[in-house]
Amino acid sequence: MKKILLLMMISLATLSGCATSPMGRSQLIMMSDSEMNAMGDKAFLSLVQSSQLVTDRQANAYVDCVAQALIREVGGQWEVAVFLDQDANAFALPGGKIGVNSGMLNVAANQDQLATVIAHEVSHVQAKHSNERISQQSATKIGLSLISAVASSQGYGSPALMGALGLGAQYGILLPYSRVQESEADLMGVDLMAKAGFNPTESVNLWVNMEKASGGKQSAEFMSTHPSHDTRIQDLQNRMPQALALSQKAHAAGKNPQCESLAGRQ
C-alpha cells in the first residue's frame, strides 16, 4: 500500500510545472498552440452548423461592438457569433472564436456587464486554460492507470479502491484546478474590460444578476468547477482599485465604448 501512496504522490506532482499563467501560477501545458487552435476551430464550426444563430442585426451589432473593444486590447483575429439559446452563457475558444447566447443579453443588463462576460471568456483563452485542462485530465488518466496496475499486482485493485482514487482525482485535482482557472479569468477579465474603457464596477453587478437568474441554485463550491457567486464577488471587489485605475487610464487615452445604443434583446 505504501507503494500505491508513493505513486499517487508522484502522479499528483506531474500536474504542476512546465509553464506559467499570466497570473504567475505554475501550469501543466502538453498541447501546442496550433493543436489547440485547430480543436477550437473544429468545435466552433460544429456549434455553428448544429445551432441556430441570432439573425437580428441590432443584437449582433451590439455583441460585436463590445467584443471588438476587447479584441483591440488582446489583438489577433476573432470571429464572433450570437447563438439563439436562452441559457445565459458565453464562451471563447482557442483559434479566436467567441460565442454569446442570446439568453446572456437578458442577464447582462448593459454593455459593461456583457463586457465582463466576454472578457472573462477571452481571458480563459489568453491564459491557455483549455490546454491546461486537457493536459491535467491526460496526466490524471495516466497516473490512475499506473496506480491501478500496481494496486492490482499488490492485491489492492478492488473496485472500491479504484472508485475512491477516481473520486479523489475528481474532487482533489481536476475541480479545484478548474476553480483556480475560473478565478484567474475573473481577475484577468475585469482588468481587460477596464483597459478597454468599460466600467469594472459592473462586473460585481453581473454576478449579482447571475445569482438571481440561477434562483440561488448552485452546487457546493468544493463540488463545483466554478467558485461560488459570493466568492467571485468578493474577489472582484478586492481587485477593484486596480481595475478602476486601468479604466481611468483607458478613458484618458480616449477609450470610451458606446455600444449601449446598439443593444437588442432576444
Q: Are 147 and 140 in contact (CB under 8 A)?
A: no
Determine whether 121 is an active site residue: yes
Residues 47-64 as b or e (16 or more Cβ within 10 Å = b): beeeeeebeeeebbbbbb
Catalytic residue among 35, 73, 121, 211: 121
- Among all chains, which residue has been given the C-alpha cell 441554485? 217
d(CA 26, CA 105): 35
- Among all chains, which residue has been given the C-alpha cell 466600467? 199
Catalytic residues: 121
